[in-house]
């Protein structure tokens, strides 16, 4: 089933892309959560027109790419976000968010997939994100992810927050790994138990019952029927 993504979805695609997904996944997850919409011919046509319009604002030559790189690196992109006391975002800043902000502020189209952002940004702070503009031309975008209604704390405090965030992420990853290991061990033990039961030998006296104690069909047929009153 084809759908148009309304938001970036991990391992599925980026906002505005037309993707093929399982019908059940679309009906039960993407569509109810408004993460996607049906890919009608009209909507696909609108997206194609938008992409064609924006494509005129990206580098077409090496020289143009160099000029755009200077323009992009001369400005810091600010993102005002909702965040907790520890600096953790209530959401994230994605590659699509960055590309959209560059388009809104500088009218430069970036290929979101060429942003060197392995994971979405989930903490406040300053970031540098490289993006390939053309063959052999890369610009480094400077981002300030700032708590909504405030400013970034001093650099030392930011470093402490980064350290705490890294430790929190590492602890969560370790906990998830332990859970996976425990589940794997439980599954292995269950399989071993089933295999052991299947291989358990038959008791030696299982077939020691005297043959005359077993009633044959012929014997049963020759027995007189009980008298009826």
pLDDT tens digits, 121-172: 999 999 999 999 988 999 999 999 999 888 888 777 777 776 776 777 677 6
Quick check: 112 and 102 in contact, CB under 8 A? no
Of 2-16, 26-40, 42-56, 75-89, give the lowest mean pLDDT range.
42-56
pLDDT digits (tens, 9 = 90+) for 183-204: 888 888 877 777 777 776 666 6
Residue 134 to residue 69: CA distance in whole angstroms:
10
Residue 199 to residue 155: CA distance in whole angstroms:
65
Check: pTM over 0.75? Answer yes or no: no
DSSP code at position 27: I
Cα 30–chain centre separation: 13
By DSSP bridging, strand 137-147 and strand 125-134 are antiparallel
Region 77-96: mean pLDDT is: 91
- CA atoms 64, 70, 72, 75: torsion sign: negative
pLDDT band at 35 (very low <50, low <70, confident <90, very high): very high
Quick check: 106 and 55 in contact, CB under 8 A? no
C-alpha distances in Å from residue 139, one per residue of 64, 136, 165, 189: 12, 10, 27, 53
Tell me which of 77 and 108 has the higher pLDDT: 77
pLDDT band at 218 (very low <50, low <70, confident <90, very high): low
pLDDT for 124 equals 92
Residue 66 to residue 139: CA distance in whole angstroms:
8
pLDDT for 185 equals 82
Which contacts qualify for 10-13: CB closer than 8 Å, 24 or more apart?
none
Query: Across all residues in the chain, what is the average pLDDT?
Result: 82
Residue 160 to residue 133: CA distance in whole angstroms:
34
pLDDT for 219 equals 55
pLDDT for 201 equals 66
Tell me which of 67 and 60 has the higher pLDDT: 67
Helices (H), the chain: 23-25, 41-55, 62-73, 95-106, 155-198, 217-222
Region 105-109: mean pLDDT is: 87
Tell me which of 205 and 188 has the higher pLDDT: 188
Region 43-56: mean pLDDT is: 76
Region 202-226: mean pLDDT is: 56
């Amino acid at each position: 089933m084809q759908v148009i993504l309304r938001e970036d979805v991990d391992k599925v695609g980026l906002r505005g892309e037309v993707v093929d997904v399982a019908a059940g996944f679309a009906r039960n997850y993407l569509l109810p959560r408004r993460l996607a919409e049906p890919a009608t011919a009209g909507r696909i046509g609108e997206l194609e027109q938008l992409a064609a319009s924006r494509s005129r604002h990206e580098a077409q030559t090496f020289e143009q790419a160099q000029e755009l790189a200077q323009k992009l690196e001369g400005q810091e992109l600010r993102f005002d976000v909702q965040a907790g006391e520890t600096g953790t975002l209530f959401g994230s800043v994605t590659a699509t968010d960055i590309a959209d902000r560059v388009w809104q502020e500088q009218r430069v189209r970036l290929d979101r997939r060429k942003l060197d952002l392995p994971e979405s940004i989930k903490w406040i702070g300053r970031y540098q994100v490289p993006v390939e503009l053309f063959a052999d031309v890369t610009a480094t975008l400077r981002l300030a992810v700032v708590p909504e209604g405030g400013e970034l704390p001093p650099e030392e405090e930011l470093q402490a927050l980064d350290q705490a965030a890294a430790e929190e992420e590492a602890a969560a990853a370790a906990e998830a790994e332990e859970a996976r290991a425990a589940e794997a061990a439980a599954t292995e033990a269950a399989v071993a138990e089933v295999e052991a039961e299947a291989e358990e030998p038959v008791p030696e006296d299982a077939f020691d019952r005297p043959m005359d104690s077993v009633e044959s069909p012929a014997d049963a047929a020759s027995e007189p029927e009980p008298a009826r009153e």
